[in-house]
Structure 1
Protein backbone atom coordinates (compact mmCIF):
# COMPACT_ATOMS: atom_id res chain seq x y z
CA UNK A 1 0.00 0.00 0.00
CA UNK A 2 1.12 3.58 -0.63
CA UNK A 3 0.09 6.87 0.88
CA UNK A 4 -1.55 9.90 -0.71
CA UNK A 5 1.79 11.53 -1.55
CA UNK A 6 3.02 8.82 -3.96
CA UNK A 7 2.01 7.97 -7.48
CA UNK A 8 -0.03 4.89 -8.24
CA UNK A 9 -3.64 3.86 -8.68
CA UNK A 10 -6.08 5.75 -6.49
CA UNK A 11 -9.05 3.93 -5.01
CA UNK A 12 -11.91 4.99 -2.79
CA UNK A 13 -12.12 2.87 0.33
CA UNK A 14 -14.74 2.63 3.04
CA UNK A 15 -14.37 0.53 6.19
CA UNK A 16 -17.41 -0.72 8.12
CA UNK A 17 -17.96 1.19 11.37
CA UNK A 18 -17.42 -2.01 13.39
CA UNK A 19 -13.82 -2.08 12.11
CA UNK A 20 -13.11 1.55 12.84
CA UNK A 21 -10.94 0.82 15.87
CA UNK A 22 -8.35 -0.83 13.63
CA UNK A 23 -7.81 2.02 11.17
CA UNK A 24 -6.41 5.56 11.52
CA UNK A 25 -8.94 8.24 12.45
CA UNK A 26 -8.84 9.76 8.97
CA UNK A 27 -10.14 6.46 7.55
CA UNK A 28 -13.19 6.36 9.82
CA UNK A 29 -16.62 7.75 9.11
CA UNK A 30 -16.98 7.20 5.39
CA UNK A 31 -15.21 6.75 2.03
CA UNK A 32 -11.68 8.14 1.72
CA UNK A 33 -9.14 8.26 -1.09
CA UNK A 34 -6.19 5.87 -0.93
CA UNK A 35 -3.17 5.43 -3.18
CA UNK A 36 -2.07 1.83 -3.74
CA UNK A 37 1.01 0.42 -5.44
CA UNK A 38 -0.81 -1.41 -8.23
CA UNK A 39 0.65 -4.81 -7.32
CA UNK A 40 -0.57 -5.57 -3.80
CA UNK A 41 -3.71 -7.65 -3.31
CA UNK A 42 -6.81 -6.23 -1.72
CA UNK A 43 -6.20 -8.43 1.30
CA UNK A 44 -2.74 -6.91 1.74
CA UNK A 45 -4.17 -3.39 1.39
CA UNK A 46 -6.74 -4.09 4.10
CA UNK A 47 -4.15 -5.57 6.45
CA UNK A 48 -1.83 -2.62 5.81
CA UNK A 49 -4.55 -0.37 7.19
CA UNK A 50 -4.43 -2.38 10.42
CA UNK A 51 -7.50 -4.58 9.94
CA UNK A 52 -6.95 -8.32 10.58
CA UNK A 53 -8.62 -10.34 7.82
CA UNK A 54 -10.19 -12.49 10.54
CA UNK A 55 -12.48 -9.50 11.21
CA UNK A 56 -13.49 -8.93 7.60
CA UNK A 57 -16.76 -10.46 6.45
CA UNK A 58 -16.09 -9.61 2.81
CA UNK A 59 -14.97 -6.87 0.46
CA UNK A 60 -16.95 -5.33 -2.38
CA UNK A 61 -15.55 -3.55 -5.42
CA UNK A 62 -18.10 -1.35 -7.15
CA UNK A 63 -20.78 -3.10 -5.12
CA UNK A 64 -19.77 -6.63 -6.12
CA UNK A 65 -17.98 -9.23 -3.95
CA UNK A 66 -14.25 -9.50 -4.62
CA UNK A 67 -11.67 -11.99 -3.33
CA UNK A 68 -8.83 -10.91 -1.07
CA UNK A 69 -6.46 -11.78 -3.91
CA UNK A 70 -7.92 -9.13 -6.23
CA UNK A 71 -5.45 -6.36 -7.17
CA UNK A 72 -7.25 -3.00 -7.09
CA UNK A 73 -6.94 -0.63 -10.02
CA UNK A 74 -7.38 3.10 -10.44
CA UNK A 75 -10.92 4.26 -9.74
CA UNK A 76 -12.04 1.22 -7.78
CA UNK A 77 -14.60 1.85 -5.06
CA UNK A 78 -13.97 -0.63 -2.24
CA UNK A 79 -16.03 -1.35 0.85
CA UNK A 80 -14.66 -3.53 3.65
CA UNK A 81 -17.41 -5.25 5.65
CA UNK A 82 -17.36 -6.74 9.13
CA UNK A 83 -18.09 -10.40 9.85
CA UNK A 84 -21.75 -11.37 10.02
CA UNK A 85 -22.82 -12.66 13.42
CA UNK A 86 -23.26 -15.43 14.29
CA UNK A 87 -20.20 -16.38 12.29
CA UNK A 88 -20.08 -19.83 10.74
CA UNK A 89 -16.81 -21.78 10.87
CA UNK A 90 -17.21 -24.62 8.35
CA UNK A 91 -15.41 -27.91 8.18
CA UNK A 92 -14.79 -28.80 11.84
CA UNK A 93 -16.50 -28.99 15.22
CA UNK A 94 -16.40 -25.56 16.82
CA UNK A 95 -13.37 -25.51 19.09
CA UNK A 96 -11.20 -22.69 20.40
CA UNK A 97 -7.60 -21.91 21.28
CA UNK A 98 -6.78 -18.92 23.51
CA UNK A 99 -3.42 -17.26 24.03
CA UNK A 100 -1.69 -16.67 27.34
CA UNK A 101 -3.44 -13.35 28.00
CA UNK A 102 -6.98 -14.80 28.03
CA UNK A 103 -6.89 -17.19 30.96
CA UNK A 104 -10.02 -15.89 32.70
CA UNK A 105 -12.00 -16.08 29.47
CA UNK A 106 -10.76 -19.63 28.89
CA UNK A 107 -11.93 -20.77 32.32
CA UNK A 108 -15.36 -19.20 31.85
CA UNK A 109 -15.78 -20.81 28.45
CA UNK A 110 -14.88 -24.19 29.96
CA UNK A 111 -17.45 -23.69 32.73
CA UNK A 112 -20.00 -23.31 29.94
CA UNK A 113 -18.84 -26.57 28.40
CA UNK A 114 -17.13 -25.03 25.35
CA UNK A 115 -14.11 -26.94 24.02
CA UNK A 116 -11.38 -24.41 24.88
CA UNK A 117 -7.66 -25.05 24.69
CA UNK A 118 -5.47 -22.52 26.47
CA UNK A 119 -1.74 -21.95 26.72
CA UNK A 120 -0.84 -20.82 30.24
CA UNK A 121 2.66 -19.85 29.09
CA UNK A 122 3.76 -17.86 26.08
CA UNK A 123 4.76 -20.46 23.48
CA UNK A 124 5.10 -17.93 20.68
CA UNK A 125 2.94 -17.00 17.71
CA UNK A 126 4.28 -19.68 15.31
CA UNK A 127 3.47 -22.49 17.77
CA UNK A 128 -0.01 -21.09 18.48
CA UNK A 129 -0.79 -20.77 14.79
CA UNK A 130 0.48 -24.30 14.16
CA UNK A 131 -1.72 -25.71 16.93
CA UNK A 132 -4.73 -23.83 15.57
CA UNK A 133 -4.16 -25.44 12.17
CA UNK A 134 -3.33 -28.92 13.48
CA UNK A 135 -6.33 -29.13 15.82
CA UNK A 136 -8.64 -26.95 13.69
CA UNK A 137 -9.35 -24.51 16.48
CA UNK A 138 -10.46 -20.89 16.24
CA UNK A 139 -7.62 -18.75 17.58
CA UNK A 140 -8.87 -16.06 19.97
CA UNK A 141 -6.45 -13.24 20.73
CA UNK A 142 -5.99 -9.49 21.13
CA UNK A 143 -2.68 -9.78 19.24
CA UNK A 144 -3.26 -8.52 15.70
CA UNK A 145 0.09 -9.86 14.54
CA UNK A 146 -0.87 -13.37 15.61
CA UNK A 147 -4.18 -13.13 13.79
CA UNK A 148 -2.36 -12.21 10.57
CA UNK A 149 -0.48 -15.51 10.42
CA UNK A 150 -1.50 -17.50 7.38
CA UNK A 151 -1.23 -20.88 9.14
CA UNK A 152 -4.24 -20.23 11.35
CA UNK A 153 -7.23 -22.50 10.87
CA UNK A 154 -9.47 -19.58 11.82
CA UNK A 155 -9.20 -16.66 14.18
CA UNK A 156 -11.00 -13.82 15.88
CA UNK A 157 -9.97 -10.64 17.62
CA UNK A 158 -11.16 -10.27 21.22
CA UNK A 159 -12.35 -6.68 21.35
CA UNK A 160 -12.50 -6.03 25.10
CA UNK A 161 -10.02 -6.42 27.92
CA UNK A 162 -12.84 -7.15 30.41
CA UNK A 163 -13.65 -10.87 30.87
CA UNK A 164 -17.43 -10.32 31.10
CA UNK A 165 -17.48 -8.44 27.80
CA UNK A 166 -15.05 -10.88 26.22
CA UNK A 167 -17.36 -13.79 27.00
CA UNK A 168 -20.43 -12.04 25.59
CA UNK A 169 -18.44 -11.13 22.47
CA UNK A 170 -17.38 -14.73 21.82
CA UNK A 171 -20.82 -16.19 22.56
CA UNK A 172 -22.53 -13.63 20.35
CA UNK A 173 -20.07 -14.03 17.50
CA UNK A 174 -19.86 -17.83 17.29
CA UNK A 175 -23.01 -19.08 19.06
CA UNK A 176 -21.25 -22.18 20.45
CA UNK A 177 -23.28 -24.97 22.01
CA UNK A 178 -23.50 -24.54 25.77
CA UNK A 179 -23.06 -27.57 28.03
CA UNK A 180 -22.43 -26.06 31.49
CA UNK A 181 -20.47 -28.02 34.08
CA UNK A 182 -19.19 -30.64 31.62
CA UNK A 183 -15.55 -29.52 31.23
CA UNK A 184 -12.61 -29.23 33.57
CA UNK A 185 -11.59 -25.62 34.07
CA UNK A 186 -7.99 -26.69 34.62
CA UNK A 187 -7.34 -28.85 31.55
CA UNK A 188 -10.48 -28.80 29.35
CA UNK A 189 -11.12 -32.50 29.93
CA UNK A 190 -14.58 -34.02 30.24
CA UNK A 191 -16.25 -34.17 33.66
CA UNK A 192 -18.25 -37.12 34.95
CA UNK A 193 -20.24 -37.42 38.18
CA UNK A 194 -18.54 -39.17 41.07
CA UNK A 195 -19.37 -40.27 44.58
CA UNK A 196 -17.46 -39.26 47.67
CA UNK A 197 -16.02 -42.76 47.92
CA UNK A 198 -14.72 -42.60 44.34
CA UNK A 199 -12.76 -39.40 44.98
CA UNK A 200 -11.92 -39.94 48.64
CA UNK A 201 -8.19 -40.12 47.97
CA UNK A 202 -8.23 -36.71 46.24
CA UNK A 203 -10.18 -34.59 48.74
CA UNK A 204 -9.94 -33.61 52.40
CA UNK A 205 -12.07 -35.48 54.94
CA UNK A 206 -13.91 -32.27 55.82
CA UNK A 207 -14.85 -31.70 52.18
CA UNK A 208 -16.14 -35.25 51.91
CA UNK A 209 -18.31 -34.80 55.00
CA UNK A 210 -19.65 -31.40 53.84
CA UNK A 211 -20.53 -32.23 50.23
CA UNK A 212 -22.17 -35.22 48.63
CA UNK A 213 -22.10 -34.25 44.93
CA UNK A 214 -18.79 -34.37 43.08
CA UNK A 215 -17.47 -34.36 39.53
CA UNK A 216 -14.22 -35.88 38.31
CA UNK A 217 -12.15 -34.95 35.27
CA UNK A 218 -11.49 -37.95 33.05
CA UNK A 219 -8.23 -36.39 31.82
CA UNK A 220 -6.40 -34.90 34.81
CA UNK A 221 -8.45 -36.56 37.61
CA UNK A 222 -9.26 -33.17 39.15
CA UNK A 223 -12.26 -33.16 41.51
CA UNK A 224 -15.02 -30.53 41.66
CA UNK A 225 -17.77 -29.73 44.13
CA UNK A 226 -20.06 -26.79 44.94
CA UNK A 227 -17.57 -24.69 46.85
CA UNK A 228 -17.44 -21.07 47.99
CA UNK A 229 -17.37 -19.57 44.50
CA UNK A 230 -20.09 -21.74 43.01
CA UNK A 231 -22.87 -19.16 43.42
CA UNK A 232 -20.89 -16.64 41.39
CA UNK A 233 -20.31 -19.18 38.65
CA UNK A 234 -23.99 -20.15 38.71
CA UNK A 235 -24.92 -16.54 38.02
CA UNK A 236 -22.47 -16.36 35.14
CA UNK A 237 -23.89 -19.56 33.65
CA UNK A 238 -27.49 -18.42 34.14
CA UNK A 239 -26.79 -15.08 32.43
CA UNK A 240 -25.06 -16.77 29.49
CA UNK A 241 -27.82 -19.33 29.02
CA UNK A 242 -30.53 -16.66 29.26
CA UNK A 243 -28.91 -14.55 26.54
CA UNK A 244 -27.22 -17.15 24.33
CA UNK A 245 -28.91 -20.50 25.17
CA UNK A 246 -30.45 -22.97 24.98
CA UNK A 247 -28.34 -25.57 26.71
CA UNK A 248 -27.36 -28.56 24.60
CA UNK A 249 -28.05 -31.90 26.35
Structure 2
Protein backbone atom coordinates (compact mmCIF):
# COMPACT_ATOMS: atom_id res chain seq x y z
CA UNK A 1 0.00 0.00 0.00
CA UNK A 2 1.40 3.35 -0.96
CA UNK A 3 2.19 5.97 1.69
CA UNK A 4 -0.40 8.74 2.21
CA UNK A 5 0.46 12.11 0.68
CA UNK A 6 2.39 14.45 2.99
CA UNK A 7 0.46 17.32 4.57
CA UNK A 8 3.44 19.56 3.87
CA UNK A 9 4.73 18.91 0.34
CA UNK A 10 8.23 20.21 -0.41
CA UNK A 11 8.38 23.68 -1.98
CA UNK A 12 8.31 23.78 -5.74
CA UNK A 13 11.68 24.15 -7.39
CA UNK A 14 12.02 27.49 -9.17
CA UNK A 15 12.10 27.48 -12.96
CA UNK A 16 15.48 27.21 -14.59
CA UNK A 17 17.10 30.51 -15.46
CA UNK A 18 16.74 31.37 -19.12
CA UNK A 19 17.88 34.20 -21.32
CA UNK A 20 14.70 36.14 -20.48
CA UNK A 21 14.94 35.72 -16.71
CA UNK A 22 15.66 38.85 -14.61
CA UNK A 23 19.38 39.27 -14.24
CA UNK A 24 21.67 41.51 -12.23
CA UNK A 25 24.50 43.74 -13.36
CA UNK A 26 27.01 42.16 -15.76
CA UNK A 27 24.43 39.51 -16.65
CA UNK A 28 24.78 37.75 -13.29
CA UNK A 29 21.54 36.24 -12.01
CA UNK A 30 20.22 37.74 -8.77
CA UNK A 31 20.07 34.22 -7.29
CA UNK A 32 23.48 33.40 -5.85
CA UNK A 33 24.78 29.82 -5.72
CA UNK A 34 22.72 26.66 -6.02
CA UNK A 35 19.11 26.50 -4.93
CA UNK A 36 18.19 25.09 -1.53
CA UNK A 37 14.61 25.18 -0.19
CA UNK A 38 14.23 27.58 2.73
CA UNK A 39 17.83 28.82 2.65
CA UNK A 40 19.06 32.30 1.70
CA UNK A 41 22.43 32.34 -0.02
CA UNK A 42 25.01 34.95 0.98
CA UNK A 43 27.86 36.61 -0.86
CA UNK A 44 30.17 39.56 -0.29
CA UNK A 45 30.74 42.97 -1.80
CA UNK A 46 33.38 45.62 -1.24
CA UNK A 47 31.97 48.90 0.10
CA UNK A 48 33.66 52.20 0.82
CA UNK A 49 32.27 55.34 2.46
CA UNK A 50 33.14 59.00 2.22
CA UNK A 51 35.26 59.88 5.30
CA UNK A 52 32.60 62.30 6.55
CA UNK A 53 30.26 59.32 7.01
CA UNK A 54 32.68 57.28 9.11
CA UNK A 55 31.19 58.48 12.40
CA UNK A 56 28.09 56.41 11.64
CA UNK A 57 30.03 53.20 11.02
CA UNK A 58 31.42 50.46 13.20
CA UNK A 59 35.22 50.46 13.39
CA UNK A 60 35.53 47.58 10.92
CA UNK A 61 34.05 49.71 8.13
CA UNK A 62 36.01 52.91 8.80
CA UNK A 63 38.64 52.18 6.19
CA UNK A 64 40.07 55.27 4.56
CA UNK A 65 42.70 53.35 2.57
CA UNK A 66 40.49 50.66 1.02
CA UNK A 67 36.89 49.41 1.01
CA UNK A 68 35.65 46.98 3.64
CA UNK A 69 33.72 43.76 3.11
CA UNK A 70 29.96 43.51 3.60
CA UNK A 71 27.76 40.42 3.39
CA UNK A 72 24.72 40.54 1.11
CA UNK A 73 21.80 38.14 0.80
CA UNK A 74 20.82 38.69 -2.83
CA UNK A 75 17.45 40.11 -1.76
CA UNK A 76 18.00 43.28 0.28
CA UNK A 77 18.49 46.60 -1.51
CA UNK A 78 21.65 48.65 -1.47
CA UNK A 79 19.87 51.36 0.51
CA UNK A 80 18.86 48.83 3.16
CA UNK A 81 22.45 47.60 3.37
CA UNK A 82 23.85 51.12 3.81
CA UNK A 83 21.37 51.88 6.59
CA UNK A 84 22.02 48.52 8.27
CA UNK A 85 25.68 49.56 8.50
CA UNK A 86 24.59 52.72 10.36
CA UNK A 87 24.39 55.48 7.73
CA UNK A 88 20.98 57.17 7.27
CA UNK A 89 20.14 57.64 3.60
CA UNK A 90 19.51 61.32 4.34
CA UNK A 91 23.32 61.64 4.57
CA UNK A 92 24.05 59.82 1.31
CA UNK A 93 24.66 61.98 -1.73
CA UNK A 94 25.09 59.17 -4.23
CA UNK A 95 25.79 55.47 -4.72
CA UNK A 96 28.09 53.96 -7.32
CA UNK A 97 28.41 50.27 -8.15
CA UNK A 98 31.52 49.33 -10.11
CA UNK A 99 31.79 52.98 -11.09
CA UNK A 100 28.22 53.38 -12.35
CA UNK A 101 25.52 55.39 -10.56
CA UNK A 102 22.98 53.23 -8.72
CA UNK A 103 19.70 53.86 -6.94
CA UNK A 104 19.08 52.85 -3.30
CA UNK A 105 16.63 50.21 -4.53
CA UNK A 106 19.28 48.35 -6.51
CA UNK A 107 20.00 44.81 -5.25
CA UNK A 108 23.77 44.27 -5.16
CA UNK A 109 25.46 41.16 -6.52
CA UNK A 110 28.42 39.35 -5.04
CA UNK A 111 31.81 40.66 -6.08
CA UNK A 112 30.69 44.21 -6.83
CA UNK A 113 32.44 47.31 -5.49
CA UNK A 114 30.21 49.99 -3.97
CA UNK A 115 31.13 53.57 -3.14
CA UNK A 116 28.92 55.70 -0.87
CA UNK A 117 29.27 59.48 -1.28
CA UNK A 118 28.24 62.20 1.16
CA UNK A 119 25.63 64.85 0.38
CA UNK A 120 26.93 67.68 -1.79
CA UNK A 121 26.64 71.19 -0.34
CA UNK A 122 24.59 73.24 -0.64
CA UNK A 123 21.85 70.64 -0.70
CA UNK A 124 18.78 71.58 -2.71
CA UNK A 125 15.22 70.52 -1.94
CA UNK A 126 12.06 70.77 -3.98
CA UNK A 127 9.97 73.83 -3.17
CA UNK A 128 10.45 76.44 -0.43
CA UNK A 129 13.08 75.53 2.16
CA UNK A 130 11.38 74.88 5.48
CA UNK A 131 12.55 72.90 8.50
CA UNK A 132 11.06 70.79 11.27
CA UNK A 133 13.15 70.12 14.38
CA UNK A 134 12.68 67.52 17.08
CA UNK A 135 12.40 68.24 20.79
CA UNK A 136 16.16 68.02 21.40
CA UNK A 137 16.99 70.97 19.12
CA UNK A 138 15.19 73.85 20.81
CA UNK A 139 18.15 76.25 20.86
CA UNK A 140 18.92 75.58 17.20
CA UNK A 141 15.25 76.23 16.40
CA UNK A 142 15.31 79.65 18.06
CA UNK A 143 18.54 80.63 16.33
CA UNK A 144 17.20 79.67 12.92
CA UNK A 145 14.09 81.74 13.60
CA UNK A 146 16.25 84.65 14.73
CA UNK A 147 17.76 84.56 11.23
CA UNK A 148 14.33 84.52 9.61
CA UNK A 149 14.44 80.83 8.64
CA UNK A 150 11.13 78.95 8.71
CA UNK A 151 11.73 76.43 11.51
CA UNK A 152 8.84 74.49 13.06
CA UNK A 153 9.34 72.75 16.39
CA UNK A 154 7.36 70.23 18.39
CA UNK A 155 7.35 70.45 22.19
CA UNK A 156 6.26 68.28 23.91
CA UNK A 157 7.53 65.36 21.88
CA UNK A 158 4.84 64.00 19.55
CA UNK A 159 6.75 60.86 18.54
CA UNK A 160 8.66 59.84 15.45
CA UNK A 161 5.62 58.79 13.42
CA UNK A 162 3.87 62.13 13.91
CA UNK A 163 7.05 64.09 13.17
CA UNK A 164 7.59 62.17 9.94
CA UNK A 165 3.95 62.70 8.96
CA UNK A 166 4.24 66.45 9.53
CA UNK A 167 7.47 66.58 7.52
CA UNK A 168 5.68 64.90 4.62
CA UNK A 169 2.47 66.93 4.89
CA UNK A 170 4.20 70.33 5.09
CA UNK A 171 7.23 69.50 2.91
CA UNK A 172 9.66 70.27 5.71
CA UNK A 173 13.23 69.02 6.07
CA UNK A 174 13.45 67.02 9.30
CA UNK A 175 16.48 68.02 11.40
CA UNK A 176 17.43 65.54 14.10
CA UNK A 177 20.23 63.65 15.81
CA UNK A 178 17.98 60.57 15.95
CA UNK A 179 19.06 58.14 13.23
CA UNK A 180 15.94 56.04 13.70
CA UNK A 181 13.73 59.04 12.95
CA UNK A 182 15.76 59.90 9.85
CA UNK A 183 15.28 56.35 8.51
CA UNK A 184 11.51 56.73 8.32
CA UNK A 185 10.45 56.38 4.70
CA UNK A 186 7.57 58.87 4.90
CA UNK A 187 9.86 61.85 5.57
CA UNK A 188 9.80 64.56 2.92
CA UNK A 189 13.54 65.05 3.49
CA UNK A 190 15.88 64.92 6.45
CA UNK A 191 19.32 65.82 7.74
CA UNK A 192 21.40 64.61 10.64
CA UNK A 193 22.62 67.36 12.99
CA UNK A 194 26.22 66.39 13.67
CA UNK A 195 27.21 68.50 16.68
CA UNK A 196 25.92 68.84 20.23
CA UNK A 197 26.89 72.54 20.35
CA UNK A 198 24.20 75.01 19.17
CA UNK A 199 26.66 77.35 17.43
CA UNK A 200 28.15 74.45 15.46
CA UNK A 201 24.69 73.07 14.72
CA UNK A 202 23.66 76.41 13.23
CA UNK A 203 26.78 76.62 11.07
CA UNK A 204 26.20 73.04 9.90
CA UNK A 205 22.60 73.68 8.80
CA UNK A 206 23.43 77.00 7.12
CA UNK A 207 26.39 75.49 5.25
CA UNK A 208 24.43 72.43 4.14
CA UNK A 209 21.24 74.12 2.93
CA UNK A 210 22.19 77.79 2.38
CA UNK A 211 18.74 79.12 3.32
CA UNK A 212 17.98 82.78 2.56
CA UNK A 213 18.48 84.84 5.72
CA UNK A 214 16.15 87.60 6.91
CA UNK A 215 17.15 88.38 10.52
CA UNK A 216 14.64 89.82 12.97
CA UNK A 217 11.61 88.87 10.88
CA UNK A 218 10.36 85.77 12.75
CA UNK A 219 9.15 85.14 16.26
CA UNK A 220 11.66 83.00 18.14
CA UNK A 221 8.82 81.67 20.30
CA UNK A 222 6.35 80.40 17.69
CA UNK A 223 7.91 80.91 14.21
CA UNK A 224 5.30 83.51 13.23
CA UNK A 225 6.22 86.63 11.28
CA UNK A 226 7.04 89.90 13.04
CA UNK A 227 5.63 93.31 12.19
CA UNK A 228 6.82 96.70 13.32
CA UNK A 229 4.47 98.39 15.75
CA UNK A 230 4.26 101.73 17.50
CA UNK A 231 4.97 102.54 21.10
CA UNK A 232 1.38 103.66 21.46
CA UNK A 233 0.09 100.30 20.25
CA UNK A 234 2.16 98.57 22.92
CA UNK A 235 0.83 100.74 25.74
CA UNK A 236 -0.42 98.61 28.59
CA UNK A 237 1.22 95.46 27.20
CA UNK A 238 4.81 96.14 28.28
CA UNK A 239 6.24 96.69 31.75
CA UNK A 240 6.35 100.40 32.61
CA UNK A 241 10.15 100.51 32.64
CA UNK A 242 10.40 98.98 29.18
CA UNK A 243 7.77 101.30 27.75
CA UNK A 244 9.61 104.34 29.10
CA UNK A 245 13.08 103.20 27.99
CA UNK A 246 12.54 101.94 24.43
CA UNK A 247 10.90 103.43 21.36
CA UNK A 248 11.15 100.72 18.68
CA UNK A 249 9.03 97.59 18.94
CA UNK A 250 7.90 94.61 16.92
CA UNK A 251 5.16 92.10 17.59
CA UNK A 252 4.43 88.58 16.36
CA UNK A 253 1.33 88.44 14.19
CA UNK A 254 0.60 84.91 15.43
CA UNK A 255 1.17 84.82 19.19
CA UNK A 256 1.45 88.53 20.05
CA UNK A 257 4.94 88.24 21.57
CA UNK A 258 6.53 91.70 21.89
CA UNK A 259 10.14 92.42 20.88
CA UNK A 260 12.50 95.30 21.54
CA UNK A 261 16.24 95.87 21.82
CA UNK A 262 16.77 94.60 25.33
CA UNK A 263 19.82 94.02 27.47
CA UNK A 264 20.88 90.91 25.56
CA UNK A 265 20.72 92.57 22.12
CA UNK A 266 24.51 92.53 21.68
CA UNK A 267 24.62 88.75 22.05
CA UNK A 268 21.89 88.32 19.46
CA UNK A 269 23.61 90.82 17.17
CA UNK A 270 26.74 88.66 17.37
CA UNK A 271 24.82 85.54 16.30
CA UNK A 272 23.24 87.38 13.40
CA UNK A 273 26.48 89.07 12.37
CA UNK A 274 28.37 85.77 12.34
CA UNK A 275 25.71 84.08 10.22
CA UNK A 276 25.52 86.91 7.70
CA UNK A 277 29.29 87.22 7.37
CA UNK A 278 29.80 83.49 6.77
CA UNK A 279 26.61 82.39 5.05
CA UNK A 280 24.78 85.51 3.90
CA UNK A 281 24.25 86.44 0.28
CA UNK A 282 23.57 89.71 -1.49
CA UNK A 283 19.85 88.95 -1.46
CA UNK A 284 19.63 88.44 2.30
CA UNK A 285 17.94 91.10 4.41
CA UNK A 286 20.28 92.71 6.91
CA UNK A 287 19.35 94.54 10.08
CA UNK A 288 15.63 94.71 9.38
CA UNK A 289 13.61 96.50 12.02
CA UNK A 290 16.60 97.53 14.10
CA UNK A 291 17.10 100.67 16.09
CA UNK A 292 19.54 103.01 14.43
CA UNK A 293 20.42 100.30 11.90
CA UNK A 294 22.03 98.13 14.58
CA UNK A 295 20.36 94.75 14.35
CA UNK A 296 16.74 94.19 15.24
CA UNK A 297 14.34 94.06 18.15
CA UNK A 298 15.13 91.65 20.96
CA UNK A 299 12.73 89.46 22.84
CA UNK A 300 12.25 89.96 26.58
CA UNK A 301 13.65 86.46 27.01
CA UNK A 302 16.95 85.62 25.33
CA UNK A 303 18.23 82.64 23.41
CA UNK A 304 19.84 79.89 25.43
- TM-score between both structures, scaled by the size of structure 1: 0.96
**Which protein has the larger Cα radius of gyration, Structure 1 or Structure 2?**
2
- For structure 2, which runs of at least 5 residues remain unmatched after alignment? 1-39, 286-304
The equivalent of 1:26 in structure 2 is 60
CA contact (8 A) 1:13 1:33 kept: yes
The equivalent of 1:240 in structure 2 is 275
How many residue pairs get aligned? The number is 243
The equivalent of 1:64 in structure 2 is 100
The CA distance in 2 between the partners of 1:181 and 1:35, in whole Å, is: 52
Which deviates more from structure 2 when the two are superposed, residues 99-108 or residues 200-209? 200-209
Matched position secondary structure for 2:227:
strand
The structural deviation recorded for 1:199 is: 1.4
The CA distance in 2 between the partners of 1:74 and 1:166, in whole Å, is: 39
The equivalent of 1:168 in structure 2 is 203
The match for 2:194 among 149, 153, 159 is: 159
1:177-192 to 2 correspondences below 5 Å: 177-192=212-227
The CA distance in 1 between the partners of 2:69 and 2:56, in whole Å, is: 17
The match for 1:80 among 99, 110, 116 is: 116
CA contact (8 A) 1:54 1:154 kept: yes
CA contact (8 A) 2:144 2:202 kept: yes
The match for 2:261 among 215, 223, 226 is: 226
The structural deviation recorded for 1:248 is: 2.1
- TM-score between both structures, scaled by the size of structure 2: 0.79
The structural deviation recorded for 1:229 is: 1.1
Which deviates more from structure 2 when the two are superposed, residues 239-248 or residues 155-164? 239-248
The equivalent of 2:21 in structure 1 is none
CA contact (8 A) 2:44 2:110 kept: yes
The structural deviation recorded for 1:206 is: 1.2
The match for 2:86 among 44, 50, 71 is: 50
Q: Is 2:50 aligned against 1:16?
A: yes
- For structure 1, which runs of at least 5 residues remain unmatched after alignment? 1-5
Alpha-carbon RMSD across the aligned residues, in angstroms, is 1.1
The structure carrying a bigger helix percent of its residues is 1
The structural deviation recorded for 1:120 is: 1.9
The equivalent of 1:199 in structure 2 is 234
The CA distance in 2 between the partners of 1:245 and 1:31, in whole Å, is: 38
The equivalent of 1:104 in structure 2 is 139
The equivalent of 2:181 in structure 1 is 146
The structural deviation recorded for 1:7 is: 5.6
Compare relative contact order (CA 8 Å, sep 6+) and give the higher one, 1 or 2.
1
CA contact (8 A) 1:7 1:35 kept: no
The match for 1:216 among 240, 251, 255 is: 251
The structural deviation recorded for 1:20 is: 0.2
The structural deviation recorded for 1:8 is: 1.1
The equivalent of 1:3 in structure 2 is none
The structural deviation recorded for 1:158 is: 0.1
Matched position secondary structure for 2:143:
helix
The match for 1:120 among 128, 151, 155 is: 155
